[in-house]
Structure 1
Amino acid sequence: MRLLRSVRIALAVTAVCAAAALISQAVRAPSSVPASCPERWGGDRPGGWVPAAADLEGVEESLVPGEPVTAMICAYPGDNARPGGERLAGSRILTAEAGAMARDLDYLPVTTADPGGPCTQMGGATTNYLIRFAYPRGEALWVGSAEEVNSCVTTTNGTVGSRSYVGPDITAAYRTGTWNPARPDDPCHGFPGRRGQDGRMVPGEPVSVLVCGQAPYDGRSPRLEHGRQAAEDLAAALNSLDARPGENVCRGGEVAQGDTLLLLFGYREGPPAAVRILTACDPGVDNGLLQANLDANARDQVKRLAPPA
């Protein structure tokens, strides 16, 4: 009889402990972002808005940290002449390609400051997007962006933002259910960005640099590509400049042919880091987030690596 009573007490204690453990797990469970798309866009400009910033590790350094398992795209079409309050038009869920989408967005250069800058003012259609990335343990993260006729969009997770333009890629993913970012036919005609360019003009360890000259009105941009040593030396020269947050503007005289160069630093993985050189402007170095004045060392290296005008 005593043995039976002891067994019952032991089972009761076990049950209480198990219940306490379940309650503890429920209390510690990560809070989730609402699982449905908001009925209206809550921002007042193309992109740049999310319903709430996520409390996830890494959101201060990356738009989409970690490895989400699904991505739900919510679309809000409208017009940039009447921004704000656009109604939800539909949604699309990506599963197999959510990780690839997250990795590509993770590479974009970000800043905690307002990444805004001057924009052209053409009127036209705009589609705002919210993307809800869901993680295996129940966490979730909103990213807000847009496709806009002026390509003047901020993409944000509510903590950091990027001016890198990915609107057409999100539109294609929403329409097709696949993530397949378009690459420019001519790299010299793009201005890509890479994570870390908010802190250094050229982040990481580049393995090559493509130097693109200014394209004539009726032809292809002149260019020269250089290997690792030239890329490392040029990156070191640019990183030694006294950089400051960029305003995406410069002051100077008339820009002549050969005064503008685009440097595309290549890496073993991920997108290139772009730096624009404007020798007739002050400041003359701009990576989209940082600006700096050219010194004699950087100017000489750029001139030596530039293609013939």
Structure 2
Amino acid sequence: MFIGAALVALTACGTAEPPTRAIPQTPSAGSPGTSTAAAPSAPKSCPGQWGGDGIGGWVPAASDVAGAAESLVPGSPVEALICAYPGDNTNPGGERLAGTRTLKDGAGQLARDLGYLPVGSTDSGACTAMGGPMTNYLIRFGYADGRSLWVGSAEEVNHCAMTTNGTAGSSTYVGDRITDAYRKGPATSAREKDPCRTWMARRGQNARMVPDEPTSLVVCRLDPQGGQASRTEYGTDVARQLATTLNALDTRPSDNSCRQTEGADPGVILRLVFGYADGPPTAVMVQAFCTPSVNNGLLQADGDDRLHQEATRLAPR
């Protein structure tokens, strides 16, 4: 299989340097105007050592928070404690705690981004095998009624890591987002990321190529050499018409790889980014020179001439 081109297009490789020093923990005082009785309990201490033997995919304990089987972070937590365990992806497991950060204002945004991830898939598909630094993360979300929930994930150079709350899991990569939250405090919303450079996923993508009802569309024409992508933007009518076409395809679980069609020009790589009134966008790759030519990271399909022509017509020149 020709995995390289497809993986570059799907993941836009590149990773932030893992944290290497502790960040002082934010005091856990309640928000202004909140009574002491209503304030969440202070997050428990981070475990001193990562207890899993892999890259992401481990939590100290599963939660009994309602909805944890359907969403990685259900409800509306008010606080998040991020624990960082840097190491190397060639020998994962047992990393020591290197630092913590407590989020107040940013906890809700991080919870929403993680809560919208597709759950159920535990297979990360085809991954490149570059060795390098990685950081395992634990996040303890605290709720106003004193309940809590752990999420375990990782940042690593191949962008292949499981995220779990101990009950539900997702193979969608979010390590870069967690590192942003750890380093900078309040997390940048997935909606605010550059849609042409950041891979995103949304609940329902494991069942439909384009879930829910999109309200906008950005068509990105990616540079095979990694340069600046060009883009065009469209409204609700175009977004929903194209989503209907994509959802009519005969899909199957994605292994995030493709075979280059003999003699085909590999120069046109399109990323279709569908936006929504609420929650993160979702992205679909269309590469007419590949088989299968359509991939949303969890599902793939063989696109027909009609789809390829329509996507090319909407793409920037």
TM-score computed with the length of structure 1 as normaliser: 0.79
- The Cα offsets for residues 113-138 of structure 1, whole Å up to 9 and x where unpaired, read as 21312222222221111001122223
Report the 3-state secondary structure (helix = DSSP H, G, I; strand = E; otherwise coil) of the residue aligned with 2:138: strand
Report the 3-state secondary structure (helix = DSSP H, G, I; strand = E; otherwise coil) of the residue aligned with 1:75: strand
Runs of 4+ in 1 over 4 A off after TM superposition: 181-186
Residue type of the alignment partner of 1:79: D
Among 37, 42, 53, the residue aligned to 1:44: 53
Residue type of the alignment partner of 1:203: P
Contact 2:221 2:229 in 1 (8 A): yes
Report the 3-state secondary structure (helix = DSSP H, G, I; strand = E; otherwise coil) of the residue aligned with 2:100: strand
TM-score computed with the length of structure 2 as normaliser: 0.78
Report the 3-state secondary structure (helix = DSSP H, G, I; strand = E; otherwise coil) of the residue aligned with 2:86: strand
Report the 3-state secondary structure (helix = DSSP H, G, I; strand = E; otherwise coil) of the residue aligned with 1:187: coil
Match of 1:168 in 2: 176
Report the 3-state secondary structure (helix = DSSP H, G, I; strand = E; otherwise coil) of the residue aligned with 2:257: coil
Q: RMSD over aligned Cα, in angstroms?
A: 2.5
Match of 2:186 in 1: 178
State yes or no: 1:67 paired with 2:67: no
Offset at 1:227? 1.9
Hey, what's the Cα distance between the residues in 2 that align with 1:249 and 1:230? 28
- The more displaced of 135-144 and 231-240 is 135-144
- Whichever of the two has the greater Rg, that structure is 1
Among 257, 280, 283, the residue aligned to 2:292: 283
State yes or no: 1:84 paired with 2:93: yes
State yes or no: 1:301 paired with 2:310: yes
Match of 1:97 in 2: 106
Offset at 1:296? 4.3
Match of 1:195 in 2: 203
- The Cα offsets for residues 228-270 of structure 1, whole Å up to 9 and x where unpaired, read as 1111111001111122211111223255244421111122233
Contact 1:47 1:128 in 2 (8 A): yes
State yes or no: 1:131 paired with 2:131: no
Contact 1:213 1:258 in 2 (8 A): no
How many residues matched?
A: 275
Hey, what's the Cα distance between the residues in 1 that align with 2:275 and 2:178? 24
Contact 1:206 1:231 in 2 (8 A): yes
Hey, what's the Cα distance between the residues in 1 that align with 2:138 and 2:109? 17
Match of 2:149 in 1: 141
Hey, what's the Cα distance between the residues in 2 that align with 1:222 and 1:171? 27
Report the 3-state secondary structure (helix = DSSP H, G, I; strand = E; otherwise coil) of the residue aligned with 2:196: helix
Hey, what's the Cα distance between the residues in 1 that align with 2:102 and 2:230? 42
Higher normalized helix content (fraction of residues):
1
The verdict on how the C-alpha distance between 1:179 and 1:188 changes in structure 2, with shifts beyond 3 A counting, is: closer
Residue type of the alignment partner of 2:145: R
Which ranges of structure 2 fall in alignment gaps of 5 or more residues? 1-40
Hey, what's the Cα distance between the residues in 2 that align with 1:159 and 1:256? 44
Structure number with higher relative contact order (C-alpha < 8 Å, ≥ 6 residues apart): 2
The verdict on how the C-alpha distance between 1:50 and 1:209 changes in structure 2, with shifts beyond 3 A counting, is: same
Hey, what's the Cα distance between the residues in 2 that align with 1:180 and 1:277? 27
Contact 2:81 2:101 in 1 (8 A): yes
Residue type of the alignment partner of 1:214: L
Identity of aligned residues (%): 57
Contact 1:237 1:297 in 2 (8 A): no
Among 157, 161, 175, the residue aligned to 1:153: 161
The verdict on how the C-alpha distance between 1:235 and 1:138 changes in structure 2, with shifts beyond 3 A counting, is: same
